[in-house]
Structure 1
């Protein structure tokens, strides 16, 4: 180290870590969240962790030294043997592995598996085949939700689209035969159904942004009471009697930092639900706390059963006999949580009461 500072040549002076004992490697392998199996160049199963045994339902420890193709007779989505179609030992030698895919076993288990090819020598022959696997429950749930979403959207869009098309064709083909009041009635129906379609498409876009983390909130200081009145005005514009609404507040102005458009959307959704599913007066109560604000939206209808209160904010949930696509309250919860708040159903008799709890300032400013 002559002529060098203490920091120079440091890497050369570092002691080399001794290799870990095989027992340590085996213990670390058991800590992996994924199943791992390893086969050698002669197709023999040489290593498997317990996670792989749980996922496959096969006692792989009893098959060590045997042909992996017999121990794990995987079948691909097309119904053919995975080992025949993929052929890691005899396929192209430039391959370094295979992407994740669903593989099935004869006894009904399925896993999501991917492989890594460890090659050596000038011929790049396969020395080790490392296969990792994980459960299919997450992907199955996503696929199920996607399928349910497609089915729900198709069902909800079919009726208004059919009405719009039917009324527009009638107007076009029988314009001269219809009275003015009939024309206006059909145009009003088209406008109503178009608004319904626009709302549903908007909810789907919001769900996409929420689920993918692409929702952008544009914070600014606004008066919460003004947002409440804007939400009521939006519902009244659809033909609801304005006398059905009452706003209770202690202060004439309640300042809050939030995205006014998103918050108006939340309030409008809760108000529309109160009108559609409730009865009597809809009361909006605004209470100012030290660092947060409570907004209660209450109706005088039958209320929400206790066993359903944990479900109302889940996707596609609908009470029996009620209309809608079951997405509105899911969007409400997502937008409120994005603001750093929460929404809940209060245990208050005499109707349904939803409470929004919002911070007075934006979460990133706390």
Structure 2
């Protein structure tokens, strides 16, 4: 066994022979044991492995690598604690002289549990955040339905109508949250699928903004549209992207100020850029990458923290990019660039989509 290759291995490695004595330790183990040179060579494995389960049961007593079932070839990874109280994940493989024979060599891997524990905490935080987000609309639904069921006759028709409308709105909110959670899970696992087709980003963006205006916001932005080609993408997913961005601008950026849709190249690749500028204080440079993290929220009135994460995932899936910068005149400027990326049928044919004249301004 070539031991030199394992001296720089990031995890600890201990090898013991058929007599239960150590034949090799790498540099990581020497540091953990505060050993010098080869002082651990020839040491009984029980002394070289002073790990227990916090109940006084040592690794050697519990695992018994040289005894037990003669069909064992490996010992699964488990948590064990050093005499100084640090947690480690320990696994081992057993090499026998023949199937079912005596153990001739025990190879033990030791690594810190800090990374796993951090991931466990992140998962716990994720579960807590999801539970909180789901509980909020459910509380409203449960409260109003219980009140109506127990005190129906005490309310007027107008009051009942108001309660039912609130329940309906909270149910819609819950549905949107569940959809966002499912989309975030698909992005995490790489299973976000796109139903691609020709999309005009100028028409799509205008449709999204008209929808937001119809929801009660008086349009106060200027829209500049240049010569725009058709991109090849998932129209429903792109509506989701620009709806999230526009609603964020309304909610956190004190309203949209300008929307621009133009053709643009990035690193020699032709595409279309949609730029949204808001009227808010802007996004600090140190936070511009964090906004694309799951459940990252900031400021009063923050939502689930999934909107920008989904935006980033959908745009990336399209081969595009999202940039955040300071807008001229103040506020945040968010650029979404998507490649044209037409299929051969569109690229070689005549149907490339109509072109709006350069410099057209709408608002």
How does 1:182-331 map onto structure 2 within 5 Å? 182-236=159-213, 239-251=215-227, 254-290=229-265, 291-331=270-310
Query: How many residue pairs get matched?
Result: 340
Tell me, what secondary structure is at the counterpart of 1:228? helix
Tell me, what secondary structure is at the counterpart of 1:69? helix
The CA deviation at 1:118 is: 0.6
The CA deviation at 1:115 is: 1.1
In structure 2, the partner of 1:43 is 20
2:70 is the counterpart of 1:108: no
Tell me, which stretches of 5 or more residues in structure 1 are unaligned? Answer: 1-21
Q: TM-score, normalized by length of structure 1?
A: 0.84
**Is 1:301–1:351's contact at 8 Å kept on the other side of the alignment?**
yes
In structure 2, the partner of 1:4 is none
Residues 196-227 of structure 1 deviation map (CA, whole Å, 9 limit, x = unaligned): 21122112111211111112122211111232
**Is 1:275–1:282's contact at 8 Å kept on the other side of the alignment?**
no
In structure 2, the partner of 1:340 is 319
Tell me, what secondary structure is at the counterpart of 1:295? strand
Tell me, what secondary structure is at the counterpart of 2:219? helix
In structure 2, the partner of 1:360 is 340
The CA deviation at 1:322 is: 4.1
In structure 2, the partner of 1:140 is 117
Residues 17-52 of structure 1 deviation map (CA, whole Å, 9 limit, x = unaligned): xxxxx7xx2332335454322112222111122244
Which stretch of structure 1 is more off in the superposition, 29-38 or 208-217?
29-38
Tell me, which stretches of 5 or more residues in structure 2 are unaligned? Answer: 348-363
Partners of 2:211 and 2:110 in 1: how far apart? 51
**Is 2:49–2:60's contact at 8 Å kept on the other side of the alignment?**
no
The CA deviation at 1:172 is: 2.4
**Is 2:213–2:219's contact at 8 Å kept on the other side of the alignment?**
no
1:119 to 96, 100, 103: 96
Partners of 2:205 and 2:243 in 1: how far apart? 8
The CA deviation at 1:300 is: 0.5
Tell me, what secondary structure is at the counterpart of 1:95? coil
Tell me, what secondary structure is at the counterpart of 1:289? strand
Partners of 1:225 and 1:347 in 2: how far apart? 23
Partners of 2:75 and 2:339 in 1: how far apart? 48
Residues 160-207 of structure 1 deviation map (CA, whole Å, 9 limit, x = unaligned): 101011111222233333222212221221122112211221121112
Residues 227-267 of structure 1 deviation map (CA, whole Å, 9 limit, x = unaligned): 21343345345x3325245432113x531011112111111
Partners of 1:153 and 1:99 in 2: how far apart? 32
- Cα distance change, pair 197–58 in 1 and its aligned pair in 2 (3 A): farther
